[in-house]
Amino acid sequence: MAEEKVKLPETEEGTTVYNLDPIIIKYHYEMNYIHSYAQDSPFFAGLSKGKLMGSKCTACGYKYATPRSHCMECGAKTEWMELPLEGKVHTFTTCYFGSEEFLDQTPFTLILVEFEGVNTLFLSRVIGIEHGKVHIGMPVKAEFLRLSKFKPTDVYFVPA
């Protein structure tokens, strides 16, 4: 009785090859993360309500514009506090290139915002002004997306 030949079933999918010496092929790689904002979650909830939530140290009183649940200065727990919705540009840059994820949004202008009486800064984008006209010390106010995406870009700034 002839032995039945065992063969691996094959598909017609091919490989994208860029070069033969050395052989260089395309290898696709992607993934979804199950990203938890964990203790930072109230900040993102705040954005959906039109609020900027910072942190205040319960021991030394240090105030953070970008929240953290324990104080970097003394290690004590912080409590949530509402930030003012107006501040000033501490620094800025207009990006004409970027990471792949943001490339189609270029040029965009990043700013670090300083708030009166708050010790640290907040990273955001500014719109509604020509890129070349943004300057240090410029007053800005926060605007919020109507349809929250629960991302830090739910808030952005415009000239005040």
Partner 1 sequence: MRPVYMVSGGVTKFRKASPDKDFRLMVKEAFDYAMRDVPNLTLEMIDGTVASYFSDHFTRQLMAGIMVQDYLGLCPKPGKRVEGGGATGGLCFQAAWEAISSGRMDVCVAYGFETMSRVNTWKGNEFIALASDTNFDYPVGGFYSGYYAMMVQRHMYEFGTTVEQMAMVSIKNHGNAIHNPYAQSPMKLTVEDVRSSPMVATPLTLLDICTMSDGAAVAVLASEEMAAKLTDRPVKIVGVGTGTDAMRMSDRPHGKVPLLPHESPDDYRNLKYPGIHSFRGGRMASKLAYEMAGITNPLEELDFVELHDAYTSSEIQTYEDMGLCKYGEGGRFVEEGHASLEGKVPVNPSGGLLACGHPVGATGLMQAVFAFWQLQGTIQKHLGNDRLQVKNARRGAIHSHAGTGTYIAVSILERGS
Report the interface residues with partner 1, using CB under 8 A.
19, 22, 24, 27, 29, 35, 37, 40, 64-66, 68, 72-73, 90-103, 105, 108, 110-112, 119-125, 131, 136, 151-153
Write the DSSP symbol of residue 77.
B
CB nearer to partner 1: give 37 or 141: 37
CB nearer to partner 1: give 7 or 133: 133
Q: Which segments within 10-97 are labelled E, that is strand?
A: 17-20, 23-25, 53-57, 63-64, 78-82, 86-95
Closest distance of CB 132 from partner 1, Å = 8
Closest distance of CB 95 from partner 1, Å = 5
Task: Tell me if 110 sits within 8 A of 95, measured CB to CB.
Answer: yes
CA distance 141 to 82: 14
CA distance 68 to 63: 10
CB nearer to partner 1: give 56 or 125: 125
Q: Which of 55, 49, 120 is nearest to 90 (CA)?
A: 120
CB nearer to partner 1: give 3 or 131: 131
Closest distance of CB 14 from partner 1, Å = 20
Closest distance of CB 43 from partner 1, Å = 8
Q: Bridge partners of 87?
A: 140
